[in-house]
Structure 1
Amino acid sequence: MTTATRKRKPADEGGAAFDRELDDLPPELRWREWMGRIEAVLFASASPVGREDLARVVGQGASVELLIEDIQAELGGRPYELTQVAGGWMFRTRPQFAEAIKAAADLGEQSLAFTEMEMGVLCAIAYHQPIDRAGLADIFGKEVSRDLLARLRYKDLITSGPRSPRPGAPHTFVTTETFLVTFDLQSLRDLPELELGGESS
């Protein structure tokens, strides 16, 4: 009992509480353990996990990318996959199972249902961010309701950006990481090119 207490003490005092390197394991087992750690971290997270965070649970010489490739290879026949999105990795169900998930529980239907106007405003913010309500009014030719913006904010698709240089310094809107995840984008650079229809007068 005393040895157990003595062993635990350095961890409590900020000692080496977590063994990243796993030097006592043979190479193959060490690799499997690192794969398991990355998988566990990704399963526990509801949002994409970046490379730096994943690197904290594996040895310094370990390649996060190679570990992820091995995990992806093992998920071949599973209904979910490990994908890179919004600058990190996360587990997603495969597209062919979307209908089954909907039929079982209507999961996420509420959060992903958009009116045409909501989708239009979301696109305008995505392409013109940071943009304020006056800027949105210029695009749509009418004022965008605060309720609509509140709904997009509630779905965590937009958030407040920097203050606008307009008089009164109104708040601007920008998209969030949830926006990237929802639309399977790595970054805003992955937004489709805007096709500008018509001619400017």
Structure 2
Amino acid sequence: MGRRARAKEELDTELADLPPELRWRQWMGRVEAVIFAAHEPVPRDVLARVVGRDCNLDRLIDDIRDELRGRPYELVSVAGGWQHRTRTGFADAIRAATGLGAAVTKPLSQTEALILMCIAYFQPITRGELGRVFGKEISRDVIGHLRALGFIAAGPRSPTPGAPYTNVTTKAFLSHFGFESLRDLPDIELLEDAGLLSKDKLLADSFPDGFGATAAGVDGDDEDIERDEPLAG
């Protein structure tokens, strides 16, 4: 029997010998400890391993959040799990004390942001399909940069000639932009009604130099890109 299996058997998740209030507090402590120790958002099925079968995880998380009110960090629901994050109001203090975050990541260009938005809403989508949306061939360099940032990955192959890989968003995309799942993306029709998204603007021939590929190519060349945690929906 492996060490992990033995540890799982030895952990008393039900805590039946404790009165209800102390049992709940112990479950809260376990859940918060697991989330605190993790480097990525912790999904529900992982947290369920340290609490009783009848524990209401949503209510437990709410109680932890209530206790964190006024603290410099909070518990957020993101990328299909829960994660501790420092509140934005303390960013300057952290930079002043440790230098962490001093090197601000270069923001996405207008072109990159539009392409990423298009992938998020219409995934899985090939580079060729993106080119038809924008009316220009999309540079492999742009797609490569979004992949390098971890925001997109290679999805399933398209059932079109050459069977090119499609592009899909990743858990890193959800985490970076604070979405729990793709269902949290703003409704595309509401964005159009509010004037924040326009198909005419997407199709307009007004992108900066370098938007198109410097050399013509076919989508089939994209299949050698390394895959990384795709989210197809």
Alpha-carbon separation, structure 2, partners of 1:155 and 1:56: 32
1:117 aligned counterpart, secondary structure: helix
Aligned partner of 2:165 in structure 1 is: 171
Q: Does 1:70 align with 2:32?
A: no
Aligned partner of 1:42 in structure 2 is: 35
Amino acid at match of 2:49: R
Aligned partner of 1:159 in structure 2 is: 153
1:105 aligned counterpart, secondary structure: coil
RMSD: 2.6
Please tell me whether the aligned partners of residues 35 and 71 of structure 1 are also in contact (alpha carbons under 8 angstroms): yes
Aligned-residue offset at 1:116: 2.0
Amino acid at match of 2:78: V
Mapping 1:50-89, distance limit 5 Å: 50-89=43-82
Return the TM-score normalized by structure 2: 0.72
Amino acid at match of 2:42: V
Please tell me whether the aligned partners of residues 35 and 67 of structure 1 are also in contact (alpha carbons under 8 angstroms): yes
Return the TM-score normalized by structure 1: 0.82
Mapping 1:173-188, distance limit 5 Å: 173-188=167-182
Aligned-residue offset at 1:114: 1.6
Aligned-residue offset at 1:197: 5.0
What are the superposed Cα offsets for residues 33-75 of structure 1, whole Å, 9 maximum, x if unpaired?
2111101111122222222221111111211112111111110
CA 1:155–1:108: 2 relative to 1, 3 Å: farther
Amino acid at match of 2:159: P
Which 5+ residue runs of structure 2 have no aligned equivalent?
193-197, 204-233
Q: Which runs of 4+ in 1 moved over 6 A?
A: none
Alpha-carbon separation, structure 1, partners of 2:103 and 2:86: 13
Alpha-carbon separation, structure 2, partners of 1:50 and 1:39: 13
Alpha-carbon separation, structure 1, partners of 2:138 and 2:39: 31
What are the superposed Cα offsets for residues 126-177 of structure 1, whole Å, 9 maximum, x if unpaired?
1111111101111233222222222211221111111112200001000011
Alpha-carbon separation, structure 2, partners of 1:186 and 1:13: 30
2:138 aligned counterpart, secondary structure: coil
Alpha-carbon separation, structure 1, partners of 2:156 and 2:185: 21
2:22 aligned counterpart, secondary structure: helix
Alpha-carbon separation, structure 1, partners of 2:12 and 2:115: 48
Aligned partner of 2:100 in structure 1 is: 105
1:160 aligned counterpart, secondary structure: strand
Amino acid at match of 2:120: A
Aligned partner of 2:85 in structure 1 is: 92
Amino acid at match of 1:121: I
Alpha-carbon separation, structure 2, partners of 1:176 and 1:93: 22
Say which structure, 1 or 2, has more relative contact order (CA 8 Å, 6+ apart).
Answer: 2
CA 1:187–1:12: 2 relative to 1, 3 Å: closer
Alpha-carbon separation, structure 1, partners of 2:4 and 2:166: 45
Aligned partner of 2:216 in structure 1 is: none
Alpha-carbon separation, structure 2, partners of 1:26 and 1:108: 50
Alpha-carbon separation, structure 2, partners of 1:150 and 1:176: 14
Aligned partner of 2:228 in structure 1 is: none
1:52 aligned counterpart, secondary structure: helix
Q: What is the aligned-residue identity percentage?
A: 52
Aligned partner of 2:212 in structure 1 is: none
Compare 155-164 and 27-36 and name the one that shifted more.
27-36
Alpha-carbon separation, structure 2, partners of 1:159 and 1:147: 14
Alpha-carbon separation, structure 2, partners of 1:116 and 1:152: 13
Q: How many residues align?
A: 190
